[in-house]
């Protein structure tokens, strides 16, 4: 395996195959909403977050929902089965959304990631929020049941790299290699590319930190190839439980990674 210069795995941390996800891969058709808030008053924001949790947990089309935070930044990590489920969610949480923007926080940015046909279902209804729409380019999910599973605390670790693509013709075959190699990883829950104009994001999640390290070792040479001309890495963040983030900091610091810790109350209810 090629040496990855920026990946520094702690010697005491073994990359294992525990907590394996499903080996079956399905087309990536689900819908994610990615709002980022600037929090002005955490004490005032906390009860509103609890209201978001309570309302979202009642939604049949929501298969994970929760907040992650770093400093004064608050990110919502949320997934839905389709555009209809997104519209139902936005209607359901309209009251706490208005509350949080009435003082505790401001909306920094809002992104929707989904297949083009699902994005079209929400564009008219959400235009006033000025979201940025990212269309699914390629990818897979190992989630076999997106809704209706047992609700558990949100424990997954997700990566959020963002690129500016300079040469799509050169980038596309590398993107395909990323998907092909990642599809072999037992700890990957979902993986794929979404894009808006020349901005490219990777939507990816793993069962734990060991799964992330295994992935980075697996695709490290491809990242080097991507950054050698076709694209530039604008930013990368990792979202997960505090204990899992600690396992990743030494290995991923060279990328300029920002680490978002899961807020208590976040949940998942998918099955793999």
What is the pLDDT, as a whole number, of residue 228?
97
At residue 231 the predicted structure's pLDDT band, cuts being 50, 70 and 90, is: very high
Tokens of 259: 């680490």
Of the candidates 108, 118, 231, 128, the one whose C-alpha atom is nearest the C-alpha of residue 174 is: 231
Give percent above pLDDT 90 in the chain: 83
Q: Which domains does the chain have, with CATH numbers?
A: 26-268 (3.30.70.100)
- Higher-confidence residue of 29 and 133: namely 133
What is the pLDDT, as a whole number, of residue 270?
74
Task: Work out the average pLDDT over 252-262.
Answer: 96
Task: Work out the average pLDDT over 122-149.
Answer: 87
Average pLDDT, the chain: 90
Of the candidates 92, 88, 42, the one whose C-alpha atom is nearest the C-alpha of residue 67 is: 42
Residues 85, 114: Cα–Cα separation, whole Å:
12
What is the pLDDT, as a whole number, of residue 27?
67
pTM: 0.90
Task: Work out the average pLDDT over 25-47.
Answer: 91
Residue 255 DSSP class: G
Read off the pLDDT of residues 95-134 as tens digits, 9 standing for 90 and up: 999 999 999 999 999 999 999 999 999 999 999 999 999 9
What is the pLDDT, as a whole number, of residue 25?
59
Burial status of residue 169 (CB atoms within 10 A of its CB: 0-12, 13-18, 19 or more): exposed
């Amino acid at each position: 395996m090629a040496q990855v210069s920026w990946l520094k795995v702690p010697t005491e941390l073994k990359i294992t195959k525990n907590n394996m996800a499903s080996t079956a891969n399905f087309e990536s058709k689900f819908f994610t909403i990615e709002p980022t808030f600037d929090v002005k008053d955490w004490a005032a924001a906390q009860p509103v977050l609890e209201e978001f949790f309570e309302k979202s947990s009642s939604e049949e089309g929501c298969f994970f929902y929760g907040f992650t935070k770093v400093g004064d930044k608050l990110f919502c990590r949320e997934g839905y089965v389709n555009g209809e489920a997104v519209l139902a969610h936005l209607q359901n949480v309209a009251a706490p959304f208005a509350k949080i923007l009435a003082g505790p926080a401001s909306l920094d940015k809002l992104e929707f990631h989904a297949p083009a046909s699902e994005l079209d279902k929400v564009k008219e209804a959400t235009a006033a929020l000025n979201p940025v729409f990212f269309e699914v380019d390629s990818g897979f999910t190992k989630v076999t049941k997106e809704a209706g599973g047992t609700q558990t605390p949100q424990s997954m670790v997700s990566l959020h790299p963002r690129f500016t693509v300079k040469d799509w013709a050169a980038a596309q075959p590398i993107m395909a290699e990323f998907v092909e190699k990642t599809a072999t990883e037992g700890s990957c829950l979902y993986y794929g590319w979404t894009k808006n104009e020349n901005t490219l994001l990777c939507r990816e999640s793993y069962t734990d930190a060991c799964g992330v390290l295994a992935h980075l070792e697996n695709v490290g040479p491809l990242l080097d190839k991507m950054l050698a001309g076709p694209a530039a890495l604008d930013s990368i963040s990792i979202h997960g439980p505090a204990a899992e983030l600690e396992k990743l900091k030494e290995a991923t610091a060279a990328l300029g990674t920002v680490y978002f810790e899961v807020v208590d109350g976040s949940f998942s209810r998918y099955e793999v």
